[in-house]
Amino acid sequence: FQEKDKLVAEVIRYVLFKTYQTAGCPIKREELAQIVTKNYRQRALPGLVISEAKEKLSSVFGYEMRELQRLRLPSRSTRSSQQCMVEAKSYIVTSQLPSDIYSKYVEDKENSHMTGFAFVVVSIVHLAGGKISEENLWHQLRRLGLNESDENHPVFGNSKQTLEMLVQQRYLQKEKVVGPEGNTLMYDLAERALDESISGKLKDYISQVVNKETTAEAD
């Protein structure tokens, strides 16, 4: 039991450190399982340790370790190999605190611009029907003052790298589609953006914007 508690603590440390180090990129289940299996061979142990780590993260730290549902995209010859390697099971860490308390006491204000950027981009793709071409996405972002050629944007630095970070964090996934006019890079919503914690907020936000516009037109 003592050894199991040590493994649970090790998994929690790894999850918190990796989440901070990678700005919230999903953590593969196999990474967590390897913490256990490097010294122990019992087949059921990794699942048990990960399950206890999830409970402790929630009860002690106030974080939910959410399992992302893998997107099973149809295999096509046009799909880039990168897209065929979506991790089978992965986790993200989200705060269980009410948003106002989280914003006041916990949120890293230096990184809050990335949260805003993710929300805007996911909104654009969502309103485009869940899929948008790279060209059209940058067209929409240029209207908001962000250009793909920006390498030293005062807030986002390198714009293309900032967009790529949303792919790493699994808000978006990209694929090359071969058409009669050549290759087109398309962005789809990935599993993190489709997770109910994000998609619910997104629908609320979009309905608020639509209601405001409707009210303004009525006036």
Please report the pLDDT score of residue 86 as a whole number: 47
pLDDT > 90? residue 67:
no
* Among 146, 103, 94, residue whose Cα is nearest residue 124: 146
The pTM of the whole model exceeds 0.75: no
Say yes or no: do domains 1-107 and 109-218 share a fold.
yes
Please report the pLDDT score of residue 79 as a whole number: 44
Please report the pLDDT score of residue 183 as a whole number: 86
pLDDT > 50? residue 214:
yes
pLDDT > 80? residue 18:
yes
Domain ranges of the chain: 1-107, 109-218
* Among 57, 55, 86, 49, residue whose Cα is nearest residue 70: 86
pLDDT > 60? residue 45:
yes
Tell me the CATH number of domain 109-218, given options 1.10.10.10, 3.30.2350.10, 3.40.50.300, 1.10.10.1210: 1.10.10.1210
Q: Rounded to whole angstroms, how far apart are CA atoms 189 and 161?
A: 18
Instruction: Work out the burial of residue 218: count CB atoms within 10 Å of its CB; fewer than 13 is exposed, 13-18 middle, 19 or more buried.
Output: exposed
Please report the pLDDT score of residue 88 as a whole number: 63
User: CA torsion angle for 211, 214, 216, 218 (degrees, to 10)?
Assistant: -130
Q: What is the pLDDT of residues 87-143, one digit of tens each?
A: 468 888 877 666 666 555 555 555 666 777 888 888 888 888 888 999 999 998 888
Alpha carbons within 13 angstroms on the beta-carbon side of residue 118 total 26
* Among 106, 110, 85, residue whose Cα is nearest residue 167: 85
pLDDT bin (cut points 50, 70, 90) of residue 3 is confident
Q: What is the pLDDT of residues 68-78, one digit of tens each?
A: 866 555 544 44
Q: Is 174 helix (H, G, I), strand (E, B) or coil?
A: strand
How high does pLDDT run on average in the chain? Answer: 77
- Mean pLDDT to the nearest integer, 46-64: 87
The domain 1-107 having CATH identifier 3.10.20.30: the answer here is no
Please report the pLDDT score of residue 64 as a whole number: 83
User: Tokens 């940058």 sit at which residue?
Assistant: 138
